[in-house]
Structure 1
Amino acid sequence: MSPFLNQIKPWVSVICTCYNHHSFVNQALQSVVDQDYPNVELIVIDNGSFDRSAERIAEFTQQYPAIQFIQNPVNLGLNRAFNQGLALAEGRYVIDLSADDVLLPGRLSKQVAQFENLAGPYAVVFSNATYIDRSGHELALHYAVDAQGHACSPVPTGNVFRPILESYFICTPTMMMRRDVLNELGGYDETLAYEDFDFWVRSARLYHYAYLDEVLTQKRLLPSSFSAQIISTDTSLLRSTLAVCHKAFERCVTPDEFQALASRIRRFIRKAFYVEQFDLALQFGDLLQHIEQPDWQSNLILALSKLHLPVNKLYRHYLKWSPVLHSAKLD
């Protein structure tokens, strides 16, 4: 991977992490191999799968021996597994690909072209995505589109630190990231259960994001998906979210940024209550009090949290009648 060639056509490192995705990993890897962009390195980490994932990956790498394959004997956690791949990556740009997601044709060439045309401190190019089920059937789009295929509503771009605090608006697997930014941040935080919100908070404070208005990725929604775990009483996601909210609090500067974070924390208080993690709800409440006095709804939820009411079954019943993506967003 010569520096000269990297200047002409920058290399892209696709880091694919796999955990019990034997039904989907071949399609994910094939979607990388089939890209029309010439300079791609593919690094695959099987993170202690106990199905046939490692076998499928090994068979695939026999056809494409340039693929780097790491097989972990146990699950090291998503963030640590990604960092294993990042340590090997040499591309200017990096894609974090789950082994159950799919890159659509032309994605790499379009995102690289967008990156190379940007002026200023941009760290991420992201796009629209289609959500699919286990069988590959389309469920919904991340951003609704018009007849021309363009997002119907404005998508934040440029300085997105405040929008990042306000809501989940980026479909994570659509991101192409600058490797030097990832390295500067020390990769993903391995003490956390998931990566995206933390990466957004740390990188968006320093760098800009650009939106490419096309559907370039298929994100698969499964009952075992990380995003679906948010409704479980034993989820570890909210504890990580509390840690990220503390990081965000330390990085807020303007009143509107603090207010955006406060609004998000109020929603996390409710989520912690719904999954019966009452101590976390109270800790979110403590953080909220450093920004503002909680409103009456938050005070009510915090008071009910002290009673340890069994509300999770009711919450799950409610979600059955909600839109399909309701539980897919850590919002």
Structure 2
Amino acid sequence: MYLEQCICSVIEQTYKNFELIIVDDFSNDKSSTLIKKYVKRDSRIKPIYLNNNIGAAMARNIALQKAQGKYIAFLDADDYWYPNKLSRQLDFMQQHNYAFTFTAYNRITENGIKISKVHVPSKITYYKYLKNTIIGCLTVIIDREQTGYFEMENIRSSHDMALWLKIMKKGFVAHGLDEVLSSYRVLSGSNTSNKLKSAIDVWYVYRNIEKLNLLLCIWCFINYSYNSIKRRI
């Protein structure tokens, strides 16, 4: 439904030197037809059509395996970037030689109406991020030459969180640019059930991936819950 706006937001970037890898995770709508239309128009688009649905984390990993560029950015089909997103953020990274950056973003309704702006701090470290998962996946750019190759954890909804923690645990700091360069769409399907599943996955990351002790898990989870609610106000 929103895929065309998403694709256009990338190919209309003021920064032109990129490849756009689109993974069609065995969609049952007209996504593949739309993708093929834009492939004919823009040679920078590299489509991957999967024969079965493998989920967001594994689909992203396939794209990461195919990616040729120094910098890696992410964008889901429901969301979109602003025209200067890549140029502004890459300037920010190159000016300071940052390996891992993220930005502010707007939360919008299904119809594109602004709900709120998510402000971001100037930097966030491993232990701060455990308590405040403020990094929006659609805002991230990573210099893979500095961090080395990486992939997402194969979990349901917090694979991006697990990846940011993995990178920060290697000693990298995530640097924030408090400028809105993208919009995140809050869908009606984002209901209490999905929020509960996300919370369960966050707990899984704490205990099974990061191996935190129980008391630290509880403390981080309380802070995570508080900060998640605050972002939605």
Question: TM-score, normalised to structure 1's length?
Answer: 0.62
Q: Aligned partners of 2:176, 2:126: CA distance in 1, in Å?
A: 14
Counterpart of 2:181?
Answer: 216
Counterpart of 1:248?
Answer: 210
Q: Aligned pair count? A: 229
Counterpart of 2:109?
Answer: 133
Code of the residue aligned with 1:61 in structure 2: it is V
Code of the residue aligned with 1:210 in structure 2: it is H
Counterpart of 1:202?
Answer: 166
Q: Aligned partners of 2:225, 2:91: CA distance in 1, in Å?
A: 41
Counterpart of 1:263?
Answer: 219
* Contact preservation (8 Å) 1:192, 1:240: yes
Code of the residue aligned with 1:99 in structure 2: it is A
Q: Aligned partners of 2:224, 2:130: CA distance in 1, in Å?
A: 12
1:177 aligned residue (137, 142, 152): 142
User: Relative to 1, partners in 2 of residues 1:178 and 1:44: Cα closer, same or farther, differing over 3 Å?
Assistant: same
Offset at 1:66?
Answer: 3.2
Offset at 1:176?
Answer: 0.8
User: Relative to 1, partners in 2 of residues 1:26 and 1:139: Cα closer, same or farther, differing over 3 Å?
Assistant: same
* Contact preservation (8 Å) 2:6, 2:79: yes
Alignment of 1:84-99 (within 5 A): 84-99=62-77
1:102 matched to 2:9? no
* Contact preservation (8 Å) 1:94, 1:176: yes
Aligned residue for 1:94, secondary structure, equals strand
Q: Aligned partners of 1:130, 1:269: CA distance in 2, in Å?
A: 20
Counterpart of 1:16?
Answer: none
User: Relative to 1, partners in 2 of residues 1:196 and 1:46: Cα closer, same or farther, differing over 3 Å?
Assistant: same
Alignment of 1:223-302 (within 5 A): 223-224=188-189, 228=190, 231-232=192-193, 236-246=197-207, 247-249=209-211, 261-266=217-222
* Contact preservation (8 Å) 2:118, 2:231: no
Aligned residue for 1:44, secondary structure, equals strand
Offset at 1:242?
Answer: 2.9
Deviations 1:273-293 (A, max 9, x none): xxxxxxxxxxxxxxxxxxxxx
Offset at 1:245?
Answer: 0.2
1:162 matched to 2:127? yes
Offset at 1:194?
Answer: 3.3
> Aligned residues: percent identity?
23
Q: Aligned partners of 2:118, 2:157: CA distance in 1, in Å?
A: 23
* Contact preservation (8 Å) 1:166, 1:260: no
Q: Aligned partners of 2:89, 2:131: CA distance in 1, in Å?
A: 25
Aligned residue for 2:78, secondary structure, equals coil
Unmatched segments (≥5 aa) in structure 2? none
- Structure 1 stretch 237-246 or stretch 74-83: which is displaced more? 237-246
Unmatched segments (≥5 aa) in structure 1? 1-22, 144-150, 253-257, 271-321, 327-331
* Contact preservation (8 Å) 2:110, 2:188: no
Deviations 1:256-286 (A, max 9, x none): xx9764412346899xxxxxxxxxxxxxxxx
Counterpart of 1:82?
Answer: 60
Counterpart of 2:40?
Answer: 62
Higher normalized contact order (CA 8 Å, seq sep 6+, divided by chain length):
2
Aligned residue for 1:60, secondary structure, equals helix
1:123 matched to 2:84? no
Offset at 1:125?
Answer: 1.1
User: Relative to 1, partners in 2 of residues 1:240 and 1:233: Cα closer, same or farther, differing over 3 Å?
Assistant: closer
Q: Aligned partners of 1:54, 1:109: CA distance in 2, in Å?
A: 28
Offset at 1:38?
Answer: 2.4
